[in-house]
Amino acid sequence: MRALIALLLTLTFLTTAHAQEAEAPAPDRSATGGAQSLEDILARQRGETVDNSFRSDAVGNPDSAAGMANQLGTLGGSSDPELWRALRFGSADITSTYRGPAATTLVQDGGMKWLTFREGPLSTYGAYLMGGTLVLLALFYLLRGRIRIDGEKTGRRIERFKAIERFGHWLLAGSFILLGITGLITLFGRKVLIPAFGHEAFSTIAIASKWVHNNVSWAFMIALVMIFVMWVIHNLPDRTDINWLLKGGGIFTKGHPPAKKFNAGQKLIFWSVILLGGSISVSGLALLFPFEMNMFAATFAKMNAWGISGALGLGELPTVLAPHQEMQFAQLWHAIVSFVLMAIVLAHIYIGSVGMEGAYDAMGSGQVEEQWAKEHHSLWVEEVQAKQKAAPESATPAE
Ligand code: HEM
Tens digit of each residue's pLDDT (9 = 90 or more) over 181-192: 999 999 999 999
pLDDT averaged over the chain?
88
Distance 351 CA to ligand 1 centre (A): 9
pLDDT of 76 reads 58
| Same domain membership, residue 259 and residue 309 | yes
Which of 201-210, 222-231, 317-326, 349-358 shows the lowest mean pLDDT across its residues? 317-326
Please state the atom number of ligand 1 nearest to the C-alpha of residue 368.
Answer: 15
CA 268 to ligand 1 center in whole angstroms: 12
Distance 146 CA to ligand 1 centre (A): 17
- Choice from 162, 166, 169, 375 to test ligand 1 binding pocket (greatest atom count within 8 A of CB): 169
CA of 341 to the centre of ligand 1 (A): 13
216 close to 178: Cβ distance less than 8 angstroms: yes
The binding-site residues of ligand 1, defined as CB within 6 angstroms of any ligand atom, are 160, 169, 172-173, 176-177, 227, 262, 266, 269-270, 273, 345, 348-349, 352-353, 359-360, 362-363
Q: List, as own/partner pairs, every contact residues 19-22 make where C-beta atoms lie below 8 angstroms and the sequence separation is at least 24, other chains included.
A: none
Report the alpha-carbon distance of residue 91 to residue 77 in Å, rounded: 18
DSSP helix/strand/coil, 147? strand
Of all protein residues, the one whose alpha carbon is nearest to atom 7 of ligand 1 is 352
For residue range 233-273, list pLDDT tens digits in order: 999 999 999 999 999 998 878 789 999 999 999 999 999 99
Asked if 121 and 146 sit in the same domain, the reply is: yes
Kindly state whether residue 41 falls inside one of the protein's structural domains: no
Q: How far is the CA of 173 from the centre of ligand 1 (A)?
A: 7
Structural domain includes residue 21: no
Q: Looking at ligand 1, which residue's alpha carbon is closest to its atom 16?
A: 262
Is residue 195 domain-shared with residue 312, that is, in the same domain? no
CB neighbour list of residue 148: distance below 8 Å, 6 or more residues apart: 357
Give yes or no for residue 52 having a pLDDT over 80: yes
Top pLDDT among 16 and 170 is at 170
Q: What is the CATH number of the domain that holds 155?
A: 1.20.950
Report the alpha-carbon angle 278-229-369, nearest 5: 110
CB 223 within 8 A of CB 168: yes
Please report, rounded to a whole number, the percentage of residues in the chain having pLDDT higher than 70. Answer: 88
Give me the number of domains the chain comprises: 2
Kind plus residue range of the DSSP H or E element containing 158 = strand 157-159
Q: Which residue has the higher pLDDT, 150 or 11?
A: 150
Q: At what angle do helices 323-352 and 264-288 cross, to 10 degrees?
A: 150
pLDDT over 80 at 19, yes or no: no
- 213: pLDDT strictly greater than 70: yes
Q: Does 263 share its domain with 362?
A: yes
pLDDT at 15: 42
150 and 168 share a domain? Answer: no
Q: Which residues of 64-92 are buried (b: 16+ CB within 10 A; e: fewer)?
A: bbbeeeeeeebeeebbebbebbbbbbeeb
Instruction: Report d(CA 257, CA 263) in Å as an integer.
Output: 9
Q: Kindly give the residue spans of alpha helices, DSSP state H, lying in the chain.
A: 2-21, 38-45, 53-56, 80-88, 111-117, 123-144, 163-231, 239-246, 264-288, 296-305, 308-311, 323-352, 360-364, 370-376, 378-395
The residue that leads in pLDDT, 84 or 65, is: 84
Which CA distances in Å does 150 have to 10, 217, 243, 309, 372? 68, 40, 21, 49, 8
Domain assignment of residue 54, yes or no: no
Do 343 and 282 reside in the same domain of the chain?
Answer: yes
pLDDT at 392: 66
The pLDDT value recorded for residue 211 is 98
Range scoring the smallest mean pLDDT among 23-37, 40-54, 272-286, 363-377: 23-37
My answer on whether 183 and 325 are in the same domain is: no
Residue-level pLDDT at 193: 96
Predicted confidence (pLDDT) at residue 81 exceeds the cutoff of 90 = no
Q: Using an 8 Å Cβ cutoff, are 268 and 222 in contact?
A: no
- The rounded distance, in Å, linking the Cα atoms of 360 and 181 is 23
Query: Does residue 399 lie in a domain region?
Result: no
Determine the pLDDT at residue 178.
Answer: 98
Between 26 and 287, residue with greater pLDDT: 287
- The answer to whether 110 and 322 have CB atoms below 8 angstroms apart is yes
Give residue 393 CA to ligand 1 midpoint distance, Å: 35
- Please check whether residues 346 and 220 belong to one and the same domain: no
How does pLDDT run across 114-141, given as a tens digit for each residue?
A: 999 999 999 999 999 999 999 999 999 9
Is residue 390 predicted with pLDDT exceeding 80? yes
pLDDT digits (tens, 9 = 90+) for 8-17: 444 444 444 4
Range of the domain at 182: 163-229
Q: Which pLDDT band, with edges at 50, 70 and 90, does 4 fall under? A: low
Residues, the chain: 399
Decide: helix, strand or coil at residue 236: coil
Domain match, 152 and 168 both? no
Over residues 293-311, the pLDDT tens digits come to 999 999 999 999 999 999 9
| Burial of 276 from C-beta contacts in 10 A (0-12 / 13-18 / 19+) | middle
Q: Is 59 domain-assigned? A: no
Domain finish residue from 179, 201, 229: 229
Q: Is the pTM of this model over 0.85?
A: no
pLDDT of residue 369: 97
pLDDT at 21 over 80: no
Q: Do 343 and 215 fall into the same domain?
A: no
What pLDDT does 56 receive? 82
Q: Which atom of ligand 1 is nearest to the CA of 227?
A: 35
Q: What is the reported pLDDT for 12?
A: 45
Contacts 24+ apart (CB under 8 A), 136-142: 137/346, 137/347, 137/350, 137/355, 140/350, 140/355, 141/350, 141/354, 141/355
Report if residue 72 sits inside a domain: no
pLDDT tens readout for residues 339-360: 999 999 999 999 999 999 999 9
User: Domain boundary residue among 207, 229, 251?
Assistant: 229
> Do 332 and 292 sit in the same domain of this protein?
yes
Q: Using 50, 70 and 90 to split pLDDT, how confident is the model at 47?
A: confident
**Probe target for ligand 1 pocket from 149, 350, 363, with the most ligand atoms within 8 Å of CB:** 363
Q: Check residue 328 and give its pLDDT.
A: 97
**The domain boundary residue, chosen from 171, 195, 229:** 229
In a domain, 193, yes or no: yes
130 with 218, same domain? no
Residue 397 lies in a domain: no
Q: Give the lowest-confidence range in 29-38, 175-184, 205-214.
A: 29-38
CA 348 to ligand 1 centroid distance, Å: 6
Residue type, 384: V
